[in-house]
């Protein structure tokens, strides 16, 4: 019974942060039917359908890379220095990320909770890795197992097509 209560609290937190149903199923032991009902109660609508993001390429494009890198470095500090693990560490890290990158009205955050969760899984499986920038010395998300002897990050060396978002 205690595990179900903890799973219920976790599911509520994840739904409020924008988690997809597949993430909820993976991180809790609650049934799909219970999770769907809970999602409807909290959000007033059915959970979105469709597959989870599965491409590591999304995380290495210039703007996405900045946000993914910020989140993952927060996650790394929380896990290494505070001993937090698993979904609790992801929730704490994502909340801190949201504090640093609040979304504007009518705009979603660049990095969703589902993408943040997927990023952690990609890094754990070494599909993605942190690589130090030779100029600023910051650690940035890059593809795993690629040799980066003179890597320059997207902040120090932004692509020519990079532009700011238009203000709404």
DSSP calls for 81-108: HS---HHHHHHHHHHHHHHHSPPPTT--
Q: Is the pLDDT of residue 104 over 70?
A: no
pLDDT of residue 2: 42
Q: How far is it, in rounded angstroms, from Cα 39 to Cα 21?
A: 8
Q: What is the pLDDT of residues 34-86, one digit of tens each?
A: 999 999 999 999 998 877 778 999 999 999 999 999 999 999 999 999 888 89
Q: How many residues in the chain? A: 168
Domain locations in the chain as residue ranges:
2-43, 56-143
SS3 117: helix
Q: Flag whether the pTM goes above 0.75.
A: yes
Q: Are 134 and 152 in contact (CB under 8 A)?
A: yes
Instruction: Name residues whose C-beta falls within 8 Å of residue 86's C-beta, 6 or more positions apart in sequence.
Output: 27
Quick count: other Cβ atoms within 10 Å of Cβ 143?
16
Q: Is the pLDDT of residue 24 over 60?
A: yes
- What is the fold, at CATH topology level, of the domain defined by 56-143? Arc Repressor Mutant, subunit A (1.10.10)
Q: How far is it, in rounded angstroms, from Cα 15 to Cα 29?
A: 15
């Amino acid at each position: 019974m205690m595990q179900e209560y903890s799973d219920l609290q976790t599911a509520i937190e994840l739904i409020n942060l924008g988690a997809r149903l597949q993430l909820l199923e993976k991180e809790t032991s609650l049934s799909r039917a219970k999770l769907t009902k809970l999602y409807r109660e909290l959000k007033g609508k059915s959970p979105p359908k469709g597959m989870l993001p599965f491409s590591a390429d999304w995380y290495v494009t210039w703007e996405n890379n900045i946000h993914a890198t910020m989140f993952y470095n927060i996650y790394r500090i929380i896990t290494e220095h505070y001993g937090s693990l698993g979904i609790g560490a992801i929730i704490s890290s994502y909340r801190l990320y949201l504090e640093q990158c609040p979304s504007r009205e009518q705009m979603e955050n660049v990095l969703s909770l589902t993408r943040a969760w997927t990023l952690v899984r990609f890094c754990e499986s070494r599909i993605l890795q942190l690589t130090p920038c030779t100029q600023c010395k910051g650690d940035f998300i890059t593809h795993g197992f690629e040799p980066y002897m003179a890597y320059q990050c997207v902040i120090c060396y932004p692509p020519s097509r990079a532009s700011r978002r238009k203000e709404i």
